[in-house]
């Protein structure tokens, strides 16, 4: 599947869990400590095709002093998007290395958060395999499925969980048993 199509596919999937209200980068947080996750998710969708939105959201989230693991997961996603948007091969690798480190810290801080695991899984799924950034695909997929079976969704709402399940199924990276489990959970949501 061509990379451009994958990004469009991710965009379509992410649109499923966006709120209906409109927002911009200035409204990412209601105050300095409580970011609005729905607005961040919406801006991440825009960031997939917009380097300006990527940079703006990256700078905004980077300015939060006491970041949660989930915010670090968003920053890792934005670092990967910065790699996508730059033309310079040196910076592509640099941003991917930064994203890998940031995701590692985010997962260490909240290892059972399916949204963090999903962000890392979707980045690794879409990065060309020859670059070597696919080390966590199996671990993340396994942990996401484990948490879905436990119905431990953390900050993810039902629409996001449906998106995650659909993405995992469509990724063709699941075993037949995992595919069956995910299909059953999707039907029950």
pLDDT at 161: 92
Residues in Cβ contact with 100 at an 8 Å cutoff, skipping those fewer than 6 apart: 76, 133
pLDDT at 9: 44
Averaged pLDDT, groups of 10, the chain, 189 residues long: 47 40 40 73 92 96 93 97 96 96 97 96 93 93 95 86 94 95 93
Is residue 57 within 8 A of residue 47, CB to CB? The reply is: yes
In this prediction the pTM is 0.81
**What's the number of CA atoms in the CB half-sphere (13 Å) around residue 167?**
35
pLDDT at 35: 76
Is residue 90 within 8 A of residue 59, CB to CB? The reply is: no
Residues in Cβ contact with 183 at an 8 Å cutoff, skipping those fewer than 6 apart: 169
What does the alpha-carbon distance between residue 19 and residue 42 come to, in Å, rounded to a whole number?
8
């Amino acid at each position: 599947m061509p990379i451009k199509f994958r990004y469009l596919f991710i965009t379509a999937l992410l649109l499923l869990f966006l709120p209906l209200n409109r927002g911009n980068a200035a409204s990412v947080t209601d105050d300095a400590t409580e970011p609005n996750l729905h607005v961040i998710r919406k801006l991440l969708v825009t960031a997939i095709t917009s380097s300006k939105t990527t940079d703006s959201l990256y700078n905004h989230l980077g300015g939060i002093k006491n970041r949660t693991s989930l915010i670090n997961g968003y920053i890792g996603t934005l670092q990967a998007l910065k790699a996508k948007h730059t033309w310079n091969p040196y910076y592509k690798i640099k941003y991917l290395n930064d994203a890998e480190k940031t995701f590692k810290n985010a997962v260490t801080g909240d290892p059972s958060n399916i949204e963090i695991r999903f962000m890392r899984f979707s980045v690794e799924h879409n990065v060309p395999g020859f670059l070597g950034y696919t080390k966590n695909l199996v671990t993340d997929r396994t942990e996401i499925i484990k948490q879905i079976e436990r119905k431990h969704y953390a900050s993810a709402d039902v629409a996001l969980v449906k998106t995650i399940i659909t993405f995992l199924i469509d990724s063709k990276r699941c075993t037949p048993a995992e595919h069956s489990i995910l299909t059953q959970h999707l039907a029950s949501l």
